[in-house]
């Protein structure tokens, strides 16, 4: 069972989720990624479906599943208890970590990643995200849903089989609230529509521009080969995006992740989908961050929130640009 605790220094919530770690040596580096093998078959591979809780949703291609959504066995957010904040004295505030935590297994094949998806399937995966977000939006108490993919050990993936997660949360997380504030500060036009225009004009940070989807190494990149992928169609909620734009975004991710692997190497990365919190109608433009985990985060970055990026985004974009 998880609990939210408020950090009064930052005003941000922390989720304390126990139940995952069972032994102190689970923290040792070698155990961070749960390796699978003959004695420990992969629970996400075809034939082992009974090792996960029953699927909430299954997408099929030619009679076999191509994507499964299953509940997370160790949910960080679970239950429907309202987010009532309890104060234990002047500095200890906690609340139930209610919500939804799901895993989406997006490929039958074990040793692949988003870069290996075919065009059709990339569209199916994005459509599945839309369907889940619509479902979460209808769930009382879920205010925001964070969709992510962790690829590789350095990015936090605990299982090698390609999968992502959807975390339906009872509050709007600080990172998203800050982005919403950024959109509000930029008056007169949409911030990301303007970024797309400015990056196309500048031309030196574009890594993909096709079918109404632009991918750039943003001007303000905080990490080597960081990318921002955004549809041209202005829409705050991914759940309201047109199917063609979702499919084109899925294909754009295949292409840029494929080039990242070919030209930089099979590096770990996080995909982070940012969309408006459920039922918000503020200015926003949904997008996907590609955050390669090449450089480790040190004390300065942790202490200040100021990244030091050792590869300038113009150089990164030149490396990742179409041949």
- SS3 at position 301: helix
Please report which helix (H) or strand (E) contains residue 203, including its range: none
Instruction: Tell me which residues in 19-48 interact with Zn ion (CB under 5 A).
Output: 42, 44-45
Site string for Zn ion, 272-311 (x = CB under 5 A): --x----------x--------------------------
234-265 in b/e burial notation, b at 16+ Cβ within 10 A?
A: ebbbbbebeeebbbbbbbbbbbbbbbbbeebe
Measured over all CA atoms, what is the biggest interatomic distance in the chain, rounded to whole angstroms?
61
User: Nearest distance from residue 251's CB to Zn ion, in Å?
Assistant: 20
Site string for Zn ion, 239-278 (x = CB under 5 A): -----------------------------------x----
CB 101 within 8 A of CB 73: no
User: Nearest distance from residue 311's CB to Zn ion, in Å?
Assistant: 20
User: Nearest distance from residue 192's CB to Zn ion, in Å?
Assistant: 5
Listing DSSP states for 89-119 in one string gives TTTEEEEE--BEEEEEE--SSSS--GGG--H
Site string for Zn ion, 81-110 (x = CB under 5 A): -----------------------------x
- Give the binding range for Zn ion (CB under 5 A) out of 99-107, 210-218, 226-234, 242-250: 226-234
Q: Is 193 near Zn ion (CB under 5 A)? A: yes
Token couple for 157: 């993936």
CB 165 within 8 A of CB 72: yes
DSSP at 139: S
Q: Specify which residues 141 forms β-bridges with.
A: none
- Per rule CB under 5 A, count of chain residues that contact Zn ion: 12
- Give the binding range for Zn ion (CB under 5 A) out of 143-151, 171-179, 207-215, 262-270: 171-179
User: Nearest distance from residue 93's CB to Zn ion, in Å?
Assistant: 27
Listing DSSP states for 185-196 in one string gives HSTTS-HHHHHH
Token couple for 321: 């640009």
Residues 190, 204, 244, 264: which binds Zn ion (CB under 5 A)? 190
Q: Specify which residues 64 forms β-bridges with.
A: 61
d(CA 170, CA 213) in angstroms, rounded, equals 31
Cβ closest to Zn ion, residue 78 vs residue 149: 149
User: Nearest distance from residue 274's CB to Zn ion, in Å?
Assistant: 3
d(CA 304, CA 278) in angstroms, rounded, equals 30
- Give the binding range for Zn ion (CB under 5 A) out of 50-58, 97-105, 229-237, 253-261: 229-237
227-231 and 213-216 strand pairing:
antiparallel
Kindly report the number of other CB atoms within 10 A of residue 69's CB atom. Answer: 21
Residues 234, 240, 261, 280: which binds Zn ion (CB under 5 A)? 234
- Give the binding range for Zn ion (CB under 5 A) out of 65-73, 166-174, 234-242, 302-310: 234-242
Cβ closest to Zn ion, residue 76 vs residue 227: 227
Cβ closest to Zn ion, residue 44 vs residue 98: 44
Which residues sit at the interface with Zn ion, rule CB under 5 A?
42, 44-45, 110, 161, 179, 190, 192-193, 234, 274, 285
């Amino acid at each position: 069972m998880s609990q939210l605790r408020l950090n009064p220094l930052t005003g941000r919530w922390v989720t304390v989720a126990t139940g995952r770690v069972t032994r102190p040596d689970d923290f040792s580096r070698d155990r961070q990624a749960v390796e699978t093998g003959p004695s420990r078959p992969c629970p996400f591979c075809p034939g082992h479906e009974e090792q996960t809780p029953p699927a909430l949703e299954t997408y099929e291609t030619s009679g076999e599943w191509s994507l499964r959504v299953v509940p997370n066995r160790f949910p960080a957010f679970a239950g429907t208890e309202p987010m009532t904040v309890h104060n234990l004295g002047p500095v200890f505030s906690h609340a139930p970590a209610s919500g939804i935590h799901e895993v989406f297994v997006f490929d039958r094949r074990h040793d692949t990643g988003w870069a290996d998806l075919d065009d059709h399937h990339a569209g199916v995966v994005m459509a599945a995200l839309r369907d889940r977000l619509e479902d979460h939006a209808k769930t009382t108490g879920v205010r925001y849903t964070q969709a992510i993919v962790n690829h590789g050990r350095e990015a936090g993936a605990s299982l090698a089989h390609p999968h992502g997660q959807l975390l339906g949360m009872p509050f709007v997380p600080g990172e998203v609230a800050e982005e919403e504030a950024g959109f509000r500060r930029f008056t007169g036009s949409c911030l990301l529509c303007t970024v797309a225009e400015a990056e196309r004009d500048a031309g030196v940070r574009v890594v993909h521009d096709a079918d109404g989807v632009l991918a750039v190494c943003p001007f303000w990149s905080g990490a080597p080969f960081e990318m921002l992928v955004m549809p041209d169609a202005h829409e705050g909620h991914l759940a309201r995006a047109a199917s063609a734009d979702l499919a084109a975004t899925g294909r754009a991710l295949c292409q840029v992740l494929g080039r990242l692997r070919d030209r930089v190497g099979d590096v770990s990365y996080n995909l982070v989908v940012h969309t408006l919190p459920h039922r918000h109608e503020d200015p926003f433009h949904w997008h996907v961050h590609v955050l390669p985990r090449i450089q480790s985060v040190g004390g300065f970055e942790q202490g200040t929130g100021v990244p030091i990026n050792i590869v300038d985004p113009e150089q990164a974009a030149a490396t990742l640009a179409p041949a």
